[in-house]
Each structure stands twice: as structure tokens, then as C-alpha cells.
Amino acid sequence: MSGSQTSSALANVLALVPSVRTPAAAASLVAQALTTPRLHHFAELLDCAPLLSALGYNNPAGRSILFRTDEGPAPLAANAPTGDFPGRLSYNLLKLFAYGTYGDYVDEHANAPGTLYPAEPLPEAAIHKLRQLTVLSVVDAHASDRGRSVPYDVLMAAMRGSFATVRQLEAFLVNECMYAGLVTGQLDQERRCLDVASCVHRDLAPDGKTLASLEERLARWLKKTQGVFNTLATNEVQLKTAQTQAASHAARQASAVQQARNAARSLASSGVDDYEGVAHLLGTGAGLGRPKRGRGGVPKHSTG
């Protein structure tokens, strides 16, 4: 899934915001956003003041809060509504799809339906998207802390009984996550895990815990990167040293060969009888030949 497709899907929803005037219309737009194909980021909608105003929530600074009818004003941010407001359930759904998981929805809907989210079940298209988002959350949390492999058991647990078999989970990962461009990787059926190469990241929740976790991950990444740089720098120094030593050795060897050749030529011209032996020991003499000698061992010099 390309960034342009995501931006286009979000832009189409945002284009409808100016026409929204009532909480009912705002709730309808939120429901539409939850089922819009290729839309997997919702923080911008949570920051959209006209939409929040239509929902009856006029304090964007408090958008990190999930509003319950039974929890009162204590957890709310300054100037946030101290009780219910018309679009509270739709607002909480936006937060669920921005930062939450399928397990969050299942737990709340089973224990207290209508308290945090609408009592009626979400449409299948929205459930499908929430499962996709849950995979992204699991991959992001598990892979960053424990390597690039996510066990099937972890994914199955996060899906809360959505899949009866591992084969169904694998089909969902391939057809609905990989082909959708949300996750890049491969299935390791022997090890029963998803090997992740990359994935789309979800919205960053505006709370200290999330930011602290991100900072910790960035610090670990920086440490690993610095370690790679240090290793490369060390290897570069070692390579340059080896190259210098090799060049020095080659220069010494060339000098020794030249000296040997000079010595061989000197011996050849001086008439030393054991020239060939000396030249052989010096590693030279090839092609020089033994000087011809006349009667009495006197070297014969060419007169030509």
C-alpha cells in the first residue's frame, strides 16, 4: 500500500467534514472512515477540530482520553467535558482504530457493551480493518523488542479466536496484510512464525508511555547504528594498513629483484666462473646466459 493511496483515502474523508453539522452526521462520517479501504491512520481525524466540534467534544487537548459514562470527571483533561457528550462513542471508536487493538474491542464489548463503544457490533469491514491494525501493533511491539520474527502463537492470541486454525491465520497474513502492503515478509511454517522485513506503523498515541517507548527504540537503533559505523571504521583502518604494508612489501621486493639483477649483470661482466650459481641464488640470471670463455678460462668478448 503506497503512501499516496493512504493520503488519498484520508483526504476523501476529510473533504466531507465541512458538511458535517450534527453529532449524528459526525458519527456517520466516523463509521464511514472506519470502513474506508486503504485508510489505516486516524490521528488526523482526532485532531480535526470541526469534526470534534460536531461530535460535541470541544477540547482537542484531551484527545488521549477514552470517555466512559461511569468514570466521571476525574480522569479528564482540563476543560474537557465532565460528563457524556453526544458523539462520545464515535470519538472513542476513532481512538480505538488509531491506537487500540481487536482485543481491546472484544474485552470492552463483552464486558460492558455500550459503555465505551456503541452497543451494536461493528460491521464486518470495520472488524476486518481492526484485525489488520492489530497485526501491525503486534508486529511493531514484538519484532522491535525480540527480533524480526513474530510467533504464530502471539498473533493467534492477539486475534482472540478470530481464526480456528493456523492455516486461517496464515491466509489472513498473506491475503489481507502482505498483499495489502501493510506487512512485508514471509511465513516460516516450520518455525511457526512470521518473519518481518518491514511494516506500516500505526498512529503514535499522544501519551508519555508511547513516546518513552519510541525514544527507547530510537536509542537502541542509534546504538546499533553507531556500532556498525565503528566496525566499518575499524575495518577501513585495517584495510588501509594492509594496503600500506602490501605496497611497502612490493616496493622492497622490487628493489631486491633489481639489486639482484644488477649484481648478476656485474658478475657476468667480471668473469666470475660461478656466475650461474650466484645468479640462481639471487633469483635472477634467466636470459642472461653464461659468458663464453676462450682458451685458459679467459672470457671471450664479442668483437662485433
- Which range (124-133, 191-200, 276-285) has the least confidence? 276-285
Q: Would the pLDDT of 180 be above 90? A: yes
Pairwise CA distance, residues 24 & 33, whole Å:
14
- Which range (192-206, 225-239, 254-268, 284-298) has the least confidence? 284-298
Q: Would the pLDDT of 260 be above 80? A: yes
Q: Would the pLDDT of 282 be above 80? A: no
Residue 185 cell numbers, joined: 515478509
Please state, for a pLDDT cut of 90, what percent of the chain lies above it: 54
- What pLDDT does 304 receive? 47
φ and ψ at 145, to 5 degrees? -95, -25
- Which range (65-74, 99-108, 292-301) has the least confidence? 65-74
Q: Would the pLDDT of 121 be above 90? A: yes
User: Please, which pLDDT band fits residue 157 given cuts at 50, 70 and 90?
Assistant: very high
User: Please, which pLDDT band fits residue 63 given cuts at 50, 70 and 90?
Assistant: low
Residue 204 cell numbers, joined: 503514535
The average confidence (pLDDT) of the chain is 82
Secondary structure E strands in the chain: 149-151, 183-188, 193-199
- Which range (74-83, 84-93, 245-254, 279-288) has the least confidence? 74-83
Fold of 126-199: Arc Repressor Mutant, subunit A (1.10.10)
Taking the model in full, what pTM does it have?
0.68
| Per-residue pLDDT reduced to its tens digit, 138-148 | 998 886 656 78
Pairwise CA distance, residues 25 & 53, whole Å:
12
